[in-house]
A and B are shown apart, each in its own frame.
Chain A
Amino acid sequence: MIDRETVHKVALLARLELAPEEEAQFTTQLGSILEYFEQLSELDTSQVQPTARAIDVSNVVRQDALKPYAERESILESAPDRETTVQGDFFKVPKIINEPQ
C-alpha cells in the first residue's frame, strides 16, 4: 500500500535523507502501520464533527506589544554558526543558491 518511491518522496517532504536500507525498512514498517490504520474505516463517521483538541479554549489573544528581550546573546550563542558584521548579528547557513554549472 506504500511503495518505495512514495517513501522516498515523503522523506524529501520531511527533509530527511534516508539511507537505502532505511528506505527499505520504512517501506515495510510504514506499510504495516498504515494497514493497521485501516480498521478506522469500519466506523461510519459521515455525520461526526472532527475534534482538534479535547478541551477547546476560545481564541487566545494578547496585545501585540514590543518588549525588550534580555537573552538575545544567549540565543545567538546557541547558533551552530554565526557571524557578526557591521549590519548586525546573524545566524550563518551554507549558501542557498549554487553557482551556475
Chain B
Amino acid sequence: MASIRDLHQQLVSKERSAVEIAEESLAQIQALEPKLRSFLMVTGDRALEQARRVDDQIAAGEAIGWMAGIPTGIKDNMCTQGIRTTCGSKILQNFVPPYESTVTHKLATAGAVMVGKTNLDEFAMGSSTENSAYQVTANPWDLERVPGGSSGGSAAAVAADECTVALGSDTGGSIRQPAALCGVVGLKPTYGLVSRYGLVAYASSLDQIGPFARSVEDAAILLGAIAGYDPQDSTSLKVEVPDYLSFLNPNLNAQKKFRVGIIQETFGEGLDAIVGDAVMAAVDQFKAMGAEIVNISCPQFRYGLPTYYILAPSEASANLARYDGVKYGYRSEQPDNLMSMYTQTRAQGFGAEVKRRIMIGTYTLSAGYYDAYYLKAQKVRTLIKQDFEQAFEQVDVLVCPTTPTTAFKAGEKTDDPLSMYLSDLMTIPVNLAGLPGLSLPCGFDAQGLPIGLQIVGNVLREDLVLQAAYAYEQATEWHLRTPSL
C-alpha cells in the first residue's frame, strides 16, 4: 500500500503516471466493492480526466504538489458540483449540487484525484454506517462487522486501499470512531480550521471536516491541503496554516520534555479490557520514548454524551427543516396540499434515526423545555470545556481509547439507539470543546480487529497531536498490518 510520499516520488520520477495510479485505485474499487460497499458513487471518468491533467503538468515540467495525482475518496455529504450528493439520504437521492464545497475545490485545485463519493450514515447521524438509505458498508477486517460511522465508507475505503486518503466529517466522533474500527488514522481538526462551506449541515456548532489516511504523514499532508480561512464560512478561523509535515519527528522530546495526560474517566465501566490494555501499553510506549506521563481527571467527561444528544439533535432539527420538497430533493407524490407535501415528503424521505433526532431536537427546543434541556446542555458544555482547559495547563496532549470496544456486528445495535450512542462516549467531549483529536491504531483484539488510540490536543495544537501520533507510529508496527480481502 503506497503512501502519498511514495506516489509523489513515482510521479515526479516518471516511474508511473497519474492515470496509472488512478486506474489502479479504480481497479481495486471494482474488485472490492461487491464485498465492502464503501462508495455510493464511483467517479471513474472524472478521476481519469483529473489524472490526465496532472500527467500533462508533469510532462510540461511543472512542479506538482503533494496531493497531485493522489486517489481520494470524498464523504457524500460534501457538495460536488454536477455530481450527485445524497448525504446517504433518500430525500437527496437526486440532488446535484450547483456549487462545489471549499474542501473539494481546494483538493481539485491541488490536483487530487477524486475517485468517488463514500457511504455514510444518513446526514452523518450514526456510528455504524447502517443508517445509510442505500447500502451497509462492511468492515475490511471482518465483513460481518460495521466499519463504524458516520464516515464508515471513507474509513473502509482507505483501510482497503480503494483510495490513498479520504475526507470525512466529525460531529461527535464520525471520523475518529470509524478510523479506530477500521485500523486507520483519522483526524478531526480544531473547530473552524477547515471550511465547511458546501458540507451538508448536521449540527453546526460541532461539525468539522478532516482526513482519513493510512499513516500520520498522509493525514498531515491532507490536512495541510484543506485547512485555512474561508470567507464563505462564518465560523472559519483566521489563522495561518503551518507546514504540518515540519512537526513530524520520531524524537518526541526534540524540542522539550513532552507531557502526555491520561484521561482517568475513560478507563471505567463499559470499556473492553483488551482495549484498555492496548491503550495502557501505548502509554507505556510514550513513557519509553521519554514522555512525562500525567494522570488527568476530567470529572465532567461522562456528561458529554447526554449533552451532545441534546445539542446535536436540537441543531439538526433546525438544520434539516430546509428539506421541505420545494426547491430540490425528493418530493412525495401527489400531496393534497402544502402541509401534507411537507409532512409526507419528510416522512418518506428521512430514515428512522434522522426522524428520531429531529423529534428529540424539536422536543428539547420547544416552549417550556428549552431551559431544562438545551440551555442546561449548553451550560454543561462550558463545564466540559473547562475540564479540558485545566488539563492542558498540565500536559501537551491527552490520550484515551477512541472507542470503548472494537468493531461490532452489523445489526447488533440497530434496535437500541442508546447503546449505539455509547460508542461515541470518548470522542464526543472533544467536539463539545472544539479540540483537535486523532485516532490511530494501537493494537488488535483476539479476533484481529483494530483498536484505536485517541490523542487530543488543545485548540489549534494540531502540531502537538501530529507530533505525538507520528512518534508513536514510528515506534510501533500496528499501522503496517493490512486486512486480508
> Which residues of the other chain, B, contact A55 by a CB distance below 8 angstroms?
190-192, 237, 434, 459
A 19-44 to B, binary, CB cutoff 8 A, 1 in contact else 0: 10010001001101110110111010
> Which residues of the other chain, A, contact B341 by a CB distance below 8 angstroms?
93-94
> Which residues of the other chain, B, contact A30 by a CB distance below 8 angstroms?
356, 359-360, 363
> Which residues of the other chain, B, contact A65 by a CB distance below 8 angstroms?
none
The yes or no answer to B95 lying at the interface (CB within 8 A) is yes
> Which residues of the other chain, A, contact B95 by a CB distance below 8 angstroms?
78
B366→A40 contact, CB < 8 A: no
The yes or no answer to B394 lying at the interface (CB within 8 A) is no
The yes or no answer to A53 lying at the interface (CB within 8 A) is yes
The yes or no answer to B362 lying at the interface (CB within 8 A) is yes
B376→A40 contact, CB < 8 A: yes
The yes or no answer to B337 lying at the interface (CB within 8 A) is yes
The yes or no answer to B52 lying at the interface (CB within 8 A) is no
Q: Residues of B within 8 Å of A, CB-based: how many? A: 71
> Which residues of the other chain, B, contact A19 by a CB distance below 8 angstroms?
347
B335→A94 contact, CB < 8 A: yes
> Which residues of the other chain, A, contact B381 by a CB distance below 8 angstroms?
50-51, 54
CB A45 to nearest CB in B, in angstroms, measures: 4
> Which residues of the other chain, B, contact A48 by a CB distance below 8 angstroms?
379-380, 382-383
CB A90 to nearest CB in B, in angstroms, measures: 11
Task: Give the docked Cα–Cα distance between A27 and B163 (Å).
Answer: 43
Task: Give the docked Cα–Cα distance between A37 and B313 (Å).
Answer: 13
The yes or no answer to B344 lying at the interface (CB within 8 A) is yes
Task: Give the docked Cα–Cα distance between A48 and B378 (Å).
Answer: 9
Residue in contact with A39 in the complex, picked from B306, B326, B331, B375, CB distance below 8 Å: B306
CB A37 to nearest CB in B, in angstroms, measures: 5
The yes or no answer to B327 lying at the interface (CB within 8 A) is yes
Task: Give the docked Cα–Cα distance between A37 and B346 (Å).
Answer: 26
Knowing A16-B350, A55-B459, say if A96 contacts B338 (CB, 8 Å). yes
Knowing A7-B359, A26-B359, say if A54 contacts B366 (CB, 8 Å). no
Q: Residues of A within 8 Å of B, CB-based: how many? A: 51
Look across to chain B and name the residue whose beta carbon is closest to the beta carbon of A37.
B306
> Which residues of the other chain, A, contact B337 by a CB distance below 8 angstroms?
94-96, 98
Within 8 A of A (CB), among B301-327: 303, 306-307, 309-310, 317, 321, 324-327
A78→B327 contact, CB < 8 A: yes
A17→B346 contact, CB < 8 A: yes
Look across to chain A and name the residue whose beta carbon is closest to the beta carbon of B417.
A29
> Which residues of the other chain, B, contact A54 by a CB distance below 8 angstroms?
191, 205, 381, 385, 431-435
CB B404 to nearest CB in A, in angstroms, measures: 16
Task: Give the docked Cα–Cα distance between A11 and B460 (Å).
Answer: 40
Residue in contact with A75 in the complex, picked from B192, B231, B327, B330, CB distance below 8 Å: B327
B338→A93 contact, CB < 8 A: yes
B340→A17 contact, CB < 8 A: yes
A37→B310 contact, CB < 8 A: yes
Task: Give the docked Cα–Cα distance between A36 and B231 (Å).
Answer: 39
A51→B378 contact, CB < 8 A: yes
Within 8 A of A (CB), among B230-268: 231, 234-238
> Which residues of the other chain, B, contact A62 by a CB distance below 8 angstroms?
231
Task: Give the docked Cα–Cα distance between A36 and B205 (Å).
Answer: 22
B356→A53 contact, CB < 8 A: no
> Which residues of the other chain, B, contact A16 by a CB distance below 8 angstroms?
343, 346-347, 350, 355, 358-359
CB A76 to nearest CB in B, in angstroms, measures: 9
A 65-77 to B, binary, CB cutoff 8 A, 1 in contact else 0: 0000001001100
Task: Give the docked Cα–Cα distance between A18 and B354 (Å).
Answer: 13
> Which residues of the other chain, A, contact B234 by a CB distance below 8 angstroms?
57, 60
Residue from B324, B359, B375 whose CB has the most chain A CB atoms within 10 Å: B359
A80→B378 contact, CB < 8 A: no
> Which residues of the other chain, B, contact A86 by a CB distance below 8 angstroms?
none
CB A10 to nearest CB in B, in angstroms, measures: 5
B300→A43 contact, CB < 8 A: yes
The yes or no answer to B34 lying at the interface (CB within 8 A) is no
6 nearest interchain CB pairs?
A54-B434, A50-B378, A80-B331, A78-B328, A45-B379, A17-B343
Name 13 interchain pairs, CB-CB below 8 A, sorted by A: A14-B358, A18-B355, A26-B355, A26-B359, A33-B360, A45-B380, A48-B380, A49-B379, A55-B459, A57-B192, A75-B98, A78-B327, A80-B325
Instruction: Give 8 A-B pairs besides A51-B385, A52-B378, A78-B327 with Cβ atoms closer than 8 angstroms.
Output: A15-B343, A17-B343, A30-B360, A34-B360, A39-B303, A54-B205, A57-B236, A98-B337
